Amino acid sequence: MSTIIDGKGLALKLRSKIKEEVSQFKNEGHRSPHLAAILVGDDGASQTYVASKERDCQFVGFESTVHKLPADTSEQALLDLISSINATDSIDGLIVQLPLPKHMDASKITEAIDPRIDVDGFHTISVGRLTKNEDTYISATPFGVMMMLAEYGIETKGKHCVVIGRSNIVGRPMSILMSRGGYPGESTVTLCHRYTQDLASHTSRADIVIVAVGIPHFLKGDMVKEGAVVIDVGITRVAADNQKGYALQGDAEFDTLVDKCAAITPVPGGVGPMTRYGLLFNTLKSYKSKIIQ
Ligand code: GUN
């Protein structure tokens, strides 16, 4: 019997803990934690993500501010807004939703965020600290996956972990976290990507497979060994005959994997809610660093 990892339920439990903590701080007379988000343009998925981040903030008692800018906003105007938010002491976290319009240099924008409020963990300083296993903001998805492994008590020490996808947001930090010291971690990691030859020869030897490529049903049952743990980071919108007009599909072909795996995350309801929790966790971490002297 395989375990279906309930990311949604776990995130709700962890979010409720944050809510309690926030309420305690407020009872002691402190201000609310505050997350600011900048959304440039009108990408549908980005709008949905930012709206859900706003709802999460509301749930836990954070203040949230969303700056919605038109797609033709100049890069300088965005940099100016980031500077003004950086200088506002009562803002604990700032995220700029990606992707950005093509005329903007996402790397330049990410580097403009003060690392002290870089709750996405995308700044070079945050990534550098992560690489050196120093205290930092770990980007929300890899953080959520690590929390999930820890909460489910999944053994990672000495295990072979295959990460598929080498994006800055997920695959690369994931590969570092899984091999760093402590728990979860201590795994032997293979990082696979688009030029990996004979991918199945790697995945079929893995104890843990983390797939983050953005291609629905990319990882199939015949590519993993019996008893593997599969973490599915993909959430692709595919056209569907429902009210929304789309459904979310993961990178793992759940139906062919589920009976073979020791544990697997579903989509939706797996990694996605844990990612959202990761952002709340980082914002609270920043807040606490200011409030608790
Ligand atoms: N786009 C896709 N995922 C993310 C995320 O975690 N943070 C931001 N800022 N943009 C994203």
Q: Is 97 annotated in the active site?
A: yes
pTM value surpassing 0.85: yes
Q: How far is CA 119 from CA 160, 259, 276, 287, in A?
A: 29, 37, 12, 11
Q: Is 97 in the pocket of ligand 1 (CB under 6 A)?
A: yes
Residues 8-19, mean pLDDT to the nearest whole number: 98
3-state helix, strand, coil in the chain (%, to 5): 40, 15, 40
Closest residue by Cα to residue 174 from 157, 192, 158? 192
Mean of per-residue pLDDT scores for the chain: 97
Q: What angle do helix axes 171-179 and 140-151 make, rounded to 10 degrees?
A: 40
Residue ranges per domain, the chain?
32-114, 140-272
In the DSSP assignment, the letter for residue 117 is: G
Residue-level pLDDT at 18 = 98
Q: What angle do helix axes 271-291 and 140-151 make, rounded to 10 degrees?
A: 100
- The domain 140-272: what is its CATH number? 3.40.50.720
Q: Is 69 in the pocket of ligand 1 (CB under 6 A)?
A: no
Residues 145-158, mean pLDDT to the nearest whole number: 97
Torsions phi, psi for 74 (to 5 deg): -75, 155
Q: Is 98 in the pocket of ligand 1 (CB under 6 A)?
A: yes
Q: What is the pLDDT of residues 217-244, one digit of tens each?
A: 999 999 999 999 999 999 999 999 999 9
Q: Is 120 annotated in the active site?
A: yes
Q: What is the pLDDT of residues 92-144, one digit of tens each?
A: 999 999 999 999 999 999 999 999 999 999 999 999 999 999 999 999 999 99
Residue 222 Cα to ligand 1 midpoint, Å, equals: 31
pLDDT: which is higher, 188 or 293 = 188
In the DSSP assignment, the letter for residue 97 is: -
Residue-level pLDDT at 293 = 72
Does residue 1 register a pLDDT over 90? no
Q: How far is CA 267 from CA 6, 231, 254, in A?
A: 10, 10, 8
- Cβ-contact 212, 171 below 8 angstroms: yes
Q: Is 236 in the pocket of ligand 1 (CB under 6 A)?
A: no
* Residue nearest to ligand 1 atom 9, measured at CA: 97
* Triad 81, 117, 77: Cα angle to 5°: 10
Residues 80-95, mean pLDDT to the nearest whole number: 98
Residues 25-53, mean pLDDT to the nearest whole number: 97
32-114 and 140-272 in the same fold: yes
Does residue 256 register a pLDDT over 80? yes
Residue-level pLDDT at 106 = 97
Does residue 206 register a pLDDT over 80? yes
The CATH homologous superfamily to which domain 32-114 belongs is: Leucine Dehydrogenase, chain A, domain 1 (3.40.50.10860)
Residue-level pLDDT at 238 = 93
Residue 99 Cα to ligand 1 midpoint, Å, equals: 8
